Amino acid sequence: MRRPSFTLPPGTCDTHVHVWGPFDRFPVAKGAPYTPPERNKADLLALHARLGVQRCVIVQTSVYKADNRAMLDAIADNPVTYRGVALVDESFGDAEYKALHDGGVRGVRFGFVKHLGGIPDLDLVRRTAHRIGEMGWHLVLHLDAANIPDFEVLFRAFRLPVVVDHMGRPPAQDGLEQAPFRILLDLLKAPNWWVKVSGSERISAEGPPFHDAVPFARKLIEVAPDRTLWGTDWPHPNVRWEPDEADLVDMLPQFGDEAALQRVLVDNPARLYGFQ
């Protein structure tokens, strides 16, 4: 695997990675929607050493459901430079939330993606949003673009910070004027809405090197320059094309100029996640 040609600025944060395993300590949950290969915290360190990334946010995936131990274990090794986004369920109370916060978690994710289980319990989403908002955390939404119009009313009611994964997953072939993407751009006019310009390999219709995703990333950064984040989405669960992360880094100069990338890669995640 090669190193990228583009040199990331100091303090760059990869805000979307996952860890799976070691499976002898952290087995996949019963009924998980897919069984991933083991990709543990040592693999994550090696990835970021190759790319030149200094900080990261580990996002819990549905294969572990609300068992956040593998993520917390990885954060515990690097508490200054790692943060987490958890999955929760109805059983979480004060003690569980305190343990997550002490472990470096600063957000909760809900998925609305059909092949990963579909629509969550909306009452749980509302209750969780209220609770974590009081803690200074944020909500992370993993959406299919087609969901966005269906839940626009719910989404507009949120007052805490909300982060949308993977540019809202708009199919690149449908263009910048597609209705779900226009709604996302409008949501981003509100000061509490954020977005990740990750998932180029997910939205691309052309395949590597995913250049048809670039206009979407550029538009999002233009609309919300101080509330846009970036991530690799390593180890890329359920993708059509397995990207080389060096290629994803080398796309970044097409997303914006040096000042824009300083915000997206360093300043914005430092502000949202409390990196020093």
Burial state string for 39-60 with b = 16 or more CB within 10 A and e = fewer than 16: bbbebbeebbeebbbbbbbbbb
List the structure tokens of 198: 């990750």
Length of the chain (residues): 276
Cα–Cα dist 161/103, whole Å: 20
Cα–Cα dist 107/141, whole Å: 10
List the structure tokens of 30: 């019963």
DSSP code at position 8: P
Sheet containing 82-86, strands listed edge to edge, beginning at the edge strand earlier in sequence: 13-17, 55-59, 82-86, 105-112, 138-143, 162-164, 193-196, 228-229
> Is position 233 annotated as part of the catalytic site?
yes
Cα–Cα dist 66/69, whole Å: 9
Strands 55-59 and 82-86: parallel
Contacts of residue 92, defined as CB under 8 A and 6 or more positions apart, other chains included, come to 66
Burial state string for 204-213 with b = 16 or more CB within 10 A and e = fewer than 16: beeeebbebb
Residue 239 phi/psi, 5-degree rounding, is -105, 155
Q: Which DSSP helix (H) or strand (E) runs through 177?
A: none
Choosing from 233, 247, 250, 257, the catalytic residue is 233
Residues annotated catalytic, as ranges:
233
